[in-house]
Structure 1
């Protein structure tokens, strides 16, 4: 098997990955493949899916939890109510994850092959 290929589990209702540079549509593929630098802090790992990635069933898309509740993901604070520190961390999170810049995931998604019987 080619070492540059990896298998990531993605929600079946997630939208298809947009073209490189196109606006983010919440496909989640980038964060499922590996965490961004800020996601590495939240995940406490350099590999695998970002722990801050959240599935939004009502919108059928993924969203970065570091934008919704940065204190919960970075500092381990309870996410039941917004924290004052969220207002300070959210703008930094937007910048560090390059929110609004467009898709920067230079990866190709292919459906997994069904196992042979």
Structure 2
């Protein structure tokens, strides 16, 4: 199974999202997935097994509990595959960042006492500020 086949399933993606913040027990994962996707415990176990078998997660046993954690290697492969496509969204994200910064600067000028017009005072230009 290819990495995108594994990640193509919303349940498996959600499990990985849960594991991003750290190790979780299979019971804790199952509780969330059952509540969000209305799946049976065996179905959740199947998704956990797919993630484990394809290297996206690992499990360690401690007594009767299994603790799952995310593994980065397959995600790094996905990241590498996506690399040539980043140019399509990096420019747009950079443009958005620029516009947000302009908006913050403009909002700051509107709230600044120097920016407000008063009787007999002149407004400073952007270069003077």
Identify, as 1 or 2, the structure richer in helix: 2
TM-score by length of 1: 0.22
Q: Which of the pair has the greater relative contact order for Cα pairs under 8 Å at 6+ separation?
A: 1
Larger radius of gyration: 2
TM-score by length of 2: 0.21
Identify, as 1 or 2, the structure richer in strand: 2
